[in-house]
Amino acid sequence: MSSSNKKYDPPIPGSVYIETYGCQMNLVDSEIVFSLLEEHGYRRVESADRAELVLVNTCAVREHAETKAISNIGHFGKLKEAGRQVRVGVLGCLSQHAAKELQQQLPFLDWILGPDVYRTLPSLLAQDAENGPQILTEAPGDELYDEILPSRREGINAWITISRGCNNFCTYCVVPKARGRERHRPVESILHEAHEAVEQGFVQLTLLGQNVNSYTHDGSNFPELLAQVAEVSGLKRLRYLTSHPKDCSEELLRTMAEHDTICPELHLPVQAGSDAILKAMGRRYTSEKYLHLVKMAREMIPDLLISTDIIVGFPGETEDDFAQTEQLVREVGYDDAFVYRYSVRPGTKAALKYEDDVPLDMKTSRLMRINEIVRESGRARRQALIGRTVNVLIDGPSPRDPNEGIGRTFAGHMVVVPGVLTPGTEVAVTINALSGFTLRGTSFLNSLRTPV
Ligand code: SAH
Ligand code: SF4
């Protein structure tokens, strides 16, 4: 093997690279793992090339995410075989959900760790590698990583997890199984983290939970928590994800309307527009209730941006059921939507109870039909901003042209502004064009400073 070893530069001692798939929760979890490892002398690197330790934080929500992660992990197996010295661990929902399958398919792995056992990592790393993957998925069930401040790097936004797990058991969803029962962090600890993040220079915070509306701790509910975080001194913008429609209250909408740091943005996954399908999904609201909520929210919060998640091709979804989803999507007039084809998740109620009877090509055509409706409404809602002067918080330079800045309106629409602008600054921008979903405008600041 000595000749093949020469192909690779030796790994950087103590270096760790994490590849993250899936939702924002996973991004935060990766930051938590970095934080845990940095405390034990590890150093974060931004590429797997010479990392001594590679961790892949996986998602199991849809089959596609799963196969993509497995094939990418397989790549590290080939490197190992070819003589590259690296230790590889799989983290996240897939580890929890399919540890045995991973062990069989990827025997070169060193560890398979579920989302609640990351504290054990430093001690596992100190041990000699076992033969074959070491599996640790026994969830203690109450892990919150509460006092661990995530190791954040770039950008203007800090994600803050307020709860972990989910109790909703939507029939298609693997999250409650992969991440366990819902538990909530104490208010003081969330506030502490919020203050720290703003002090470190993050001007925007986003509170995270699978269903933030069911947050409760020592008598405080989510609107109360949100109101307290909104008061953190120095904070410019506060967002949150995700709101389950069955629990989204008038009190929450009022709190949003009353605080000028809380962004007028509501990610309100509807999943389907047919009551029969919503019932089969176990969502516990009707399309009428959802539309009522949207109407109330729009009345209470000016310029509200509403986005959603939709699953097409759920078992039993007829053309008529789907037409109801189309109708609802038209009626709401979403700014954005994430549309997914139903994917069977082993072990879920839907997988056990229903047949995956909508053919793939029909799922795809339904997905395209919804995307087309959202494209129209999304463009119309952005078009309505043309001619208005809005406050844009700059994220950084545009990836396409470093002489342009990219940022977001208070609601969250993306805007490109000419000029080199400091990330984290707010500029007044007059919107004058729309291309695709991207708005363009000129800033007052920019008219005073010639773009470099
Ligand atoms: N907790 C959040 C979302 C979690 S998963 C919520 O309830 O809104 C993110 C999205 O993935 C879901 O909103 C749903 O649209 C989609 N999703 C979840 N399970 C899926 C499955 N089995 N097939 C297709 N899409 C799925
Ligand atoms: Fe999954 Fe439903 Fe929980 Fe969201 S609310 S994570 S879709 S079970």
Domain ranges of the chain: 3-136, 157-383, 389-443
**What integer pLDDT is reported at residue 130 of this predicted model?**
64
CATH 3.80.30.20 fits 157-383, yes or no: yes
- Count CB neighbours of 236 within 10 A: 18
pLDDT (0 to 100) of residue 139: 67
Low-confidence ranges of the chain (pLDDT < 70): 1-6, 129-131, 139-140, 445-452
Which of 4-10's residues contact partners 24+ apart within 8 Å by CB, and which partners? 4/82, 4/83, 5/83, 5/85, 7/82, 7/83, 7/84, 8/79, 8/82, 8/83, 8/84, 8/85, 9/49, 9/50, 10/50, 10/85
Tokens for 385? 């901003």
Determine the atom of ligand 2 nearest the C-alpha atom of 169: 8
Per residue in 17-46, pLDDT tens?
A: 999 999 899 999 999 999 999 999 999 999
Judged by its nearest atom, the ligand closest to the C-alpha of residue 171 is: 2
Q: Is 242 in the pocket of ligand 1 (CB under 6 A)?
A: yes
| Tokens, residue 436 | 């695709």
Q: In terms of C-beta distances under 8 Å and separation of at least 24 residues, what long-range contacts does 220-224 make, across chains too?
A: 220/187, 221/251, 222/162, 222/252, 223/249, 223/251, 223/252, 223/254, 223/255, 224/187, 224/255
CA angle 42, 45, 47 (to 5 degrees): 140
User: Given this model, what pLDDT does residue 396 score?
Assistant: 94
Class of domain 3-136: alpha beta
Distance 86 CA to ligand 1 centre (A): 34
Torsion of CA 53, 59, 63, 67, to 10 degrees: -10
Q: Which of 45, 47, 35 is nearest to 14 (CA)?
A: 45
3-class secondary-structure state, position 33 = helix
pLDDT at position 8 is 80
Return the pLDDT at 1.
40
Ligand 1 contact, 61 CB (< 6 A): yes
Please name which of 259, 257, 348, 263 lies closest in space to residue 305, comparing C-alpha atoms: 263
In short, whether 290's Cβ falls inside 6 Å of ligand 1 is no
C-beta of 179 in contact with ligand 1 (< 6 A): no
Model confidence over 212-244: pLDDT tens digits? 999 999 999 999 999 999 999 999 999 999 999
Atom of ligand 1 lying closest to residue 267 CA: 8
The alpha carbon of 343 and the centre of ligand 1 are apart by a number of angstroms equal to 10
What residue ranges line ligand 2, CB within 6 angstroms?
166, 168-170, 173, 175-176, 210-211, 244
CATH T-level assignment (fold) for domain 389-443: OB fold (Dihydrolipoamide Acetyltransferase, E2P) (2.40.50)
Strands 426-435 and 389-397: antiparallel
Residue with tokens 């690779």: 8
Q: What is residue 4's predicted lDDT score, i.e. its pLDDT?
A: 46
